[in-house]
Amino acid sequence: MKWLIWLMVPLWLGAKTLTLSQLLTLKTVKNVALSYPNRRGETFEKTAMAICMTETGCGKSHFGDKHLLRKGIKKASYGIMQVRLQTARFVGKAYRLPEVMLRSDVDLIDKLMNDNAFNAKIAVLYLVWLSDHSRSYFEMVSRYNGGRSNHPYYNRVQRNMRFLSRFRL
């Protein structure tokens, strides 16, 4: 119950707050991220939570890039972390994940859309891979959104990371 009081402090201060559903989504992302360190033993729970907030408002929407659907379901992004099918396949191959490799595209998309922990796992493993194959943290975050140097995206993630630091997650 003590944690609930801390979560309500921003309400009393007149700051933007998060719903219980958003907080639970962030907890899921954090717990998944803590399970997957990179080669240097670093985990990216704060980054992953900020990306979740940037991509979907912590789960407010589970479907992105709707305009890309006209090009086919394989181009859109899915779930709380907005994972593309191509990215999920890449991560599945890189980490030899049977739960990815043995699924059809339609089944994998369904899993990405409806299983928050699975979606977070794929996204976090992708972040770990990016951290091991990027020259900097900035590049890692930029590459998550599809470019080596994406200042607007990086800045949004950083802004969301500062916002989330107000909560005891």
Q: Are 128 and 137 in contact (CB under 8 A)?
A: no
Tens-of-pLDDT digits for all 169 residues of the chain?
444 444 444 444 345 789 999 999 999 999 999 999 999 999 999 999 999 999 999 887 665 555 556 666 777 899 999 999 999 999 999 999 999 999 999 999 999 999 999 999 999 999 999 999 999 999 999 999 988 899 999 999 999 999 999 988 8
Cα 118 to Cα 2, 18, 23, 80, 163, distances in angstroms: 29, 22, 17, 10, 25
Report the topology of domain 19-164: Lysozyme (1.10.530)
DSSP strands (E only) in the chain: 63-64, 77-78, 83-84
